[in-house]
Structure 1
Amino acid sequence: MTAVLDAPAVLDAPAELSGDELQGVLAARAAEARRLVVDMAASPRGCHLGGSLSVLDILIAALHRASAGDGTEVVLSKGHAAAGLYAALYVSGILPENPAPLYGLAGSPYTGHPGPKVPGVRFPTGSLGHGVPYAAGWAMARRIGSLPGLGIAVAGDGELQEGLVWETCQVAAAQRLGNFVLVVDRNGGQNDGMVADISPLPDLAGRFAAFGFDVVETDGHDLAELTELLAGDRSSATRPLAVIAATVKGKGVPAVEGKAASHYVSIDARRANQWKRAIK
């Protein structure tokens, strides 16, 4: 395994870093996390590689936001990308152990979908769509208690085919949950192929706006932009925020970037080493 960065010291004192220094640290974490995901794909069980790699920058930025300690909760609603979440939690200093050698082992908490036995995971997610209302409910609880912090849900674009997502959006807008943030990992792929071929999402920004959301479209691999978008406390906002993050399935591994076949991958150690060397 590649040695992991000493991330916890950074999280303990983020104010000591300049903007460029912080982005350098977050970028290094993202690269290290991608190598760990590849290690998990090289386990006997394999993993959901493509979506784990596409969502990693979003998770790194969201976990950095949560490290402010104001009660912000990050929920990975696309729970099949658990390998990406475990890697992001580890390089962010939240997990005490490297999850890659333990991924999928009997008795290990690092299962194919995340659950609350894993440090940093409050809600179990597996059935698509369920993490979005968890995060909205967290945001509502913080607001009712006059407490700071966001409820951040990270969902996939294929996941938006679940009606529960849109029911939650309707409730979040009606309840004026300005502290609810839904980030869409828009990598264009899903289990059975490409989203555009299965259930297209035309004018997705307009759809969220029609539900009463503030909407931002961004590069889902631009850590500086992502951290800036998630930095505010939104305590005075009255409209939920949808961040549509354009991403690349399999990001960071040229052999699988943009390929629907990267959705679930099992590889041998030789190929894993090749892929890890290609990650920058």
Structure 2
Amino acid sequence: MTVLMEAAAPPSELTGRALEARRLVVDMAAGPRGCHLGGSLSVLDILVAALDRAARGDGTEVVLSKGHAAAGLYAALHVSGVLTENPAPLYGLAGEPYTGHPGPKVTGVRFPTGSLGHGVPYAAGWALAARLAGRSGLGIAVAGDGELQEGLVWETCQVAAAQRLGNFVLVVDRNGGQNDGMVADISPMDRLAERFSGFGFEVVETDGHDVDGLAALFAADRARLVRPLAVIANTVKGKGLPPVEGRAASHYVTIDAARAANWKRMIR
């Protein structure tokens, strides 16, 4: 999604945005269909920071490749000022665009995602187009660590390195979980930094909940760089909500309004 706003927010505002977004995600979990709560909460700080970079209006495109975390994306778009209406009361309702996977009917979403792995080449293609057009914007893909089991991710990494796409950034929301359990129990991703480095990427491993640090990382000018960037963002599934933090069972949650009200008071 390309975001056109006057200026990026001062970093001091970003933590507040992320907390507000977490409350919105809990509201969506209390909707008629529930939502992918754990992954939406783990990815929120990444999305808020990436959208702050996109607020420069330089053509930076943010693609949520782990599209099942759509609730987190809608919340982040709202608190970032891209979506003017509150998506939480409309999430999952017939006739509304706020479905379980994001699509271009939602303001700020350019590419439909949900089939895992596909958002990564969308963002790499955007980065290549920006370079060919002489633009300074980034193509930022936000993927999950379970999603790295898709071969298309690594095919894209090979092409991005070969094309010297220094303006392509692949962020891994490394929360350790996936639909069927924990990544380490299903298909472990050992030596992940070495894997990306072997594909020719610059690699940074960081706290995926340090929203100000992430914003500073994304703010760097990469127009003249030739190595794509892989950001391994270590996160906690269900971050900010003590009853579900780190629990594989938080992957998809449906709750009632009373529990939502209680959980929102716990958000930290």
**Fold-level match, TM-score > 0.5?**
yes
Q: How does 1:121-132 map to 2 (within 5 A)?
A: 121-132=109-120
| Number of the residue aligned with 1:31 | 19
Whether 1:180 and 2:168 are equivalent positions in the alignment is yes
Task: Choose from 60, 72, 75 the match for 2:60.
Answer: 72
Matches of 2:223 and 2:6 in 1, distance apart?
A: 24
Q: How does 1:106-117 map to 2 (within 5 A)?
A: 106-117=94-105
Whether 1:83 and 2:71 are equivalent positions in the alignment is yes
Matches of 1:268 and 1:72 in 2, distance apart?
A: 38
Whether 1:220 and 2:208 are equivalent positions in the alignment is yes
Amino acid at match of 2:164: R
SS in 1 for 2:124: helix
Amino acid at match of 1:45: R
CA displacement at 1:147 relative to structure 2: 1.4
CA displacement at 1:26 relative to structure 2: 0.5
Amino acid at match of 1:269: A
Matches of 1:264 and 1:257 in 2, distance apart?
A: 13
Q: How does 1:199-238 map to 2 (within 5 A)?
A: 199-238=187-226
Whether 1:98 and 2:86 are equivalent positions in the alignment is yes
Task: Choose from 111, 128, 143 the match for 1:140.
Answer: 128
Whether 1:191 and 2:176 are equivalent positions in the alignment is no
Amino acid at match of 1:124: P
Amino acid at match of 2:84: P
Q: Which runs of 5 or more residues in structure 1 are unaligned? A: 1-7
Give CA deviations for 1:2-61 in whole Å, capped at 9, x if unaligned.
xxxxxx9xx6344xx7xxxx2331001000000000000001100000000000000000
Between Structure 1 and Structure 2, how many residues are aligned? 265
Task: Choose from 129, 145, 154 the match for 1:157.
Answer: 145
Matches of 1:175 and 1:185 in 2, distance apart?
A: 24
Whether 1:12 and 2:27 are equivalent positions in the alignment is no
Whether 1:244 and 2:194 are equivalent positions in the alignment is no
Task: Choose from 42, 45, 49 the match for 2:30.
Answer: 42
Matches of 1:122 and 1:273 in 2, distance apart?
A: 33
| Number of the residue aligned with 1:3 | none
Matches of 2:82 and 2:7 in 1, distance apart?
A: 15
State the TM-score, normalized to the length of structure 1: 0.93
Matches of 2:139 and 2:94 in 1, distance apart?
A: 32
Amino acid at match of 2:6: D
SS in 2 for 1:235: coil
Matches of 1:142 and 1:12 in 2, distance apart?
A: 20
CA displacement at 1:129 relative to structure 2: 0.2
Matches of 1:194 and 1:229 in 2, distance apart?
A: 28
SS in 1 for 2:125: helix
CA displacement at 1:78 relative to structure 2: 0.1
| Number of the residue aligned with 1:57 | 45
State the TM-score, normalized to the length of structure 2: 0.97
Query: Where has structure 1 moved over 6 Å in runs of 4 or more?
Result: none
Matches of 2:124 and 2:183 in 1, distance apart?
A: 25
Matches of 2:263 and 2:79 in 1, distance apart?
A: 19
CA displacement at 1:108 relative to structure 2: 0.3
Q: Are the equivalent residues in 1 in contact too, given 2:15–2:212 (CA < 8 A)?
A: no
| Number of the residue aligned with 1:254 | 242
Matches of 1:53 and 1:187 in 2, distance apart?
A: 10
Matches of 2:7 and 2:163 in 1, distance apart?
A: 35
Matches of 1:40 and 1:276 in 2, distance apart?
A: 12
SS in 1 for 2:38: helix
CA displacement at 1:153 relative to structure 2: 0.1
